[in-house]
Structure 1
Amino acid sequence: MPADPLALRRWSIVFASACALAVGNAPIAIFTFGIFSKAVVAEFGWSRGAVGAALGALNICGAFAIPFFGACIDRFGVRRPMLASIVLSCLALAAVSLAHSFWAFVLAFALFGVFCGGITPVPHAKLIAAWFGSRRGLALGLAMSGTGVGAALVPLLAHELLTHYGWRAGYQGLALLAAVIGLVATASVLRDPPAVATPQRERRPLTPAPWRTILARTEFWLMALAVFAVCTALTGMIVTAVPLLTDRGMPALIATSVVSSAGLASAGGRLLTGALLDVFFGPRVAACAFVASALGIALMAVGGPTWVYLVASVLIGGALGAEVDVIGYLVSRYFDIDTFGRAYGLVFFAFSVASGSGGYLLGLCHDLTGSYTSGVWACAALCLLGALLISRLGPYRVGRVRDANEQGGVAARPA
């Protein structure tokens, strides 16, 4: 039995966030893009680089929209902006199935990027940072592991939909799944925390920072550049893994299973990283994860038996999970909670641009050289650069505190 009345609510929010993120933007759009891409190329005759531009449009539009979504949740709370975002983004994803021209295809993905803020980790990380203090890393790891579970299961569902019904019905099915689970989790469970009455000696004034103040911080730029470098590499590898492996003669179902193993590793990476963040200095944890991802990408470049690709996929997926955990955790340790949405949104700008850039650049590399190999080695180098940048962060600016329900008292404002 929980020792206090808010414990069950706090951990139910973690569970609901995990369920919602299992059908968030990464599992339903990024992890499935490579599965549908060959069918799209076959139907329209476009190049792989051209098809990859749609994912680039998604992430670039999302990159510009998410900082403003972060400002909305700082001002209005998370629930109402999330509900609107879920409905609009799922309609945009379903609209992909209606495309019969290149520009309509790209436009549908771009609209998904504009509206997808509520199905990204941004609002969930703000909620958990507000509800949790001393166990924040573990709570973030548990919630973000939902993305890993979704990344493992949703591609398998996408493959089945593609095989039996085609890529158009596949996108419709994924949009419906994301809408149902996301709306149920958000409407029934997710809430902003009650105001916490902390002892006077623990208080310090919190002044919401304007955009220019956040952009002037060295910590922001180190985080943003590290995230950009590593995310370019990791999402590029995830998006192109199925085409890369099938080009090397691997059956499509086995190649999809390799990508799914990255999703499972991502879930494990989130849990492990979350626990480590509560014990060790966050930038060091992140640097170790990024170095491991460089090793996994190098194994993917070298190739070999199927087990080599599985090991590589596990290393890449584990780092992808660590990356998402680390963003939310480090933002909460270097920026106050009152400006968390804006600060995280700006870091997520780098994340979103990188998510589109990786797939496009690797697709372009294939178009120019006939192979992904040189692009894969460049991705390994980017992960090492990210490890170097993140290791340069200094001491935390926001200290560790006890969880909200462990503080001296809770205000009467309903949650």
Structure 2
Amino acid sequence: MTTARASSELGRPGAWWVIAGAFVIYFTSGGLFNTATVFFKAIAGDLGLGRGVLSGAFSLGFLVAGLAAPLWGSLADRRGAKAAFLPAVVLVGVLCVALSRVTSALTLYIGYISLTLASAGISLVPVSVLISRWFDATRGRAMGVAFMGEGFGAMAVVPLAGYLVAHVGWRTSYVIAGVGVVAILLPVVVLLRNAPEDTAAGGAGEDPAASDAVEPQRPRAGLPSGRAATDSVGASPNDADPAAPIGARRDGGGATRGEAMRTPVFWLVAATWFMAMTPLAGVSLHQVPFLTDHGFSVESASLAAGMVGGTGILGRLVFGLLSERLPIRWIYACCYLFMALGIAALAWTPEMGVVALGTYVTLFGIAVGGAFALAPLQVAHLFGVRALGEVFGLLGLAATLGGAIGGAGAGLLYDRLGSYDLVLAVAVGMSLVATVMMTRVQRPARRGVAAAS
């Protein structure tokens, strides 16, 4: 990747404002998402629900968010990310307040599923579409910086949620969350600019004249028209070359949804994400209940969960930068290996105390942060950005299904066995399997040409 090309992208009018806006969106939505583990035991105790039943509500919400992701992604693909952000912000704020009024398992399920359906509009898929449309050569670092927002959000919001739950209760905490989401995100989204090509295509809420602020890309010297220089690892000529891997096409090109789904690697990525997200979601949802079961206070357990998000900042930044220099599949596999080691450390926390807990916070946080930063980069690398929102959303369904099974399964096993021992053992094993599977993921070739790493 040439310095001139990177400087050109980052120097475009509004580029850094886009990264900053994406950061704030992910700070807020990521912080809210990560509070589920904090609210868990308070809601269960107030409504008299078992952990399996309550886990089912969170897991179904997680699944519905995944099912909604392709819809929000398609909207972002067609009209620009801003068209997804605006209604989602308002709905999330209203539904957080509504969730504070639930009185039974049924109303909890309805409220939480509705909330997660709306929150998918300010989550990974539309944010990834926004970044991918604005950046190409610097996409990795732009994603890394933007997705650091979730880490900072978790580090700030999760401990705050623990404090609020302990002092004012979970219901008032959800009201505060709803008001906060609207107050923070609505001004940001109103001022946010879609990518110039989205504006030209009629993206919502944009001034058509704004597209003139960014010059169209021109052919590089020495390259025929329609060809682009490729600087990132594993990149190749764009689709002007009929034998190029389908993910190598640039300037908004790449595979359609159908093309992507007809490749074996699409299904391998789906299976790998499923295998990894099952333990990741199960542990993330039950980490605070696990720690409080072993003598930690809600506030101290929430602080540890928040620090997982804090160490995730390092994972997002480092792995985002490494993705521009090394094959994504190998650094992605390292994330899953770190996840397995971190979960093993959590299992030893009752015996080893703060040392094991600190190891868990560091390794698991780095792994989760890196994995979420690499996910959209891997999809763009494999299939291009033409239908990034739809393809990413569909692959996310597999991860979402795994997450739903992981969260609900952990709760059901706890209710049956009275401990999380088996849950953590299975989580370590699944993380190791996902590590091996990820090493087999390679960019799909066209017309029989060998795939790139």
CA 1:5–1:130 in structure 2 vs 1: closer, same or farther (change >3 Å)? closer
Q: Distance in 2 between matches of 1:20 and 1:181?
A: 9
Partner residue, 1:122: 125
Partner residue, 1:197: 217
* Matched AA of 1:221: W
Q: Which of 403, 409, 425 matches 1:355?
A: 403
Return the offset for 1:208.
7.4
The Cα offsets for residues 214-234 of structure 1, whole Å up to 9 and x where unpaired, read as: 322222222222222212211
Q: Distance in 2 between matches of 1:161 and 1:250?
A: 17
Partner residue, 2:171: 168
* Matched AA of 1:214: A
Return the offset for 1:350.
2.1
Question: Given the two structures, how large is their TM-score scaled by the length of structure 1?
Answer: 0.90
Partner residue, 1:83: 86
**Residues 2-401 of structure 1: matches in 2 within 5 Å?**
6-7=11-12, 9-24=14-29, 26-29=30-33, 31-194=34-197, 196-199=216-219, 200-202=225-227, 204=239, 211-303=257-349, 304-395=352-443
The Cα offsets for residues 245-281 of structure 1, whole Å up to 9 and x where unpaired, read as: 1111122222111111101011111001101101100
- Which ranges in structure 1 are unaligned for 5 or more consecutive residues? 399-415
Contact in 2 for aligned 1:127/1:193 (Cα 8 Å):
no
Contact in 1 for aligned 2:328/2:374 (Cα 8 Å):
yes
Contact in 1 for aligned 2:10/2:16 (Cα 8 Å):
no
Return the offset for 1:336.
2.5
Contact in 2 for aligned 1:82/1:117 (Cα 8 Å):
no
Q: Distance in 1 between matches of 2:267 and 2:53?
A: 31
Contact in 2 for aligned 1:148/1:264 (Cα 8 Å):
yes
Contact in 2 for aligned 1:333/1:396 (Cα 8 Å):
no
SS at match of 1:263: helix
Deviates more, 1:37-46 or 1:320-329: 37-46
Return the offset for 1:378.
0.7
Contact in 1 for aligned 2:274/2:402 (Cα 8 Å):
yes
Q: Distance in 2 between matches of 1:71 and 1:392?
A: 29
Q: Distance in 2 between matches of 1:169 and 1:334?
A: 44
CA 1:100–1:389 in structure 2 vs 1: closer, same or farther (change >3 Å)? same
Contact in 2 for aligned 1:261/1:310 (Cα 8 Å):
no
Contact in 1 for aligned 2:257/2:387 (Cα 8 Å):
no
Q: Distance in 2 between matches of 1:4 and 1:19?
A: 21
Contact in 1 for aligned 2:265/2:444 (Cα 8 Å):
no
Q: Distance in 1 between matches of 2:77 and 2:43?
A: 39
Q: Distance in 2 between matches of 1:57 and 1:361?
A: 12
Determine which structure has the larger helix proportion and give its number: 1
The Cα offsets for residues 31-70 of structure 1, whole Å up to 9 and x where unpaired, read as: 2112112111221211011111111121111121111221
Return the offset for 1:209.
5.3
Q: Distance in 1 between matches of 2:10 and 2:132?
A: 19
Question: Given the two structures, how large is their TM-score scaled by the length of structure 2?
Answer: 0.83
* Matched AA of 1:19: V
Contact in 1 for aligned 2:66/2:120 (Cα 8 Å):
no
Q: Distance in 1 between matches of 2:264 and 2:115?
A: 31
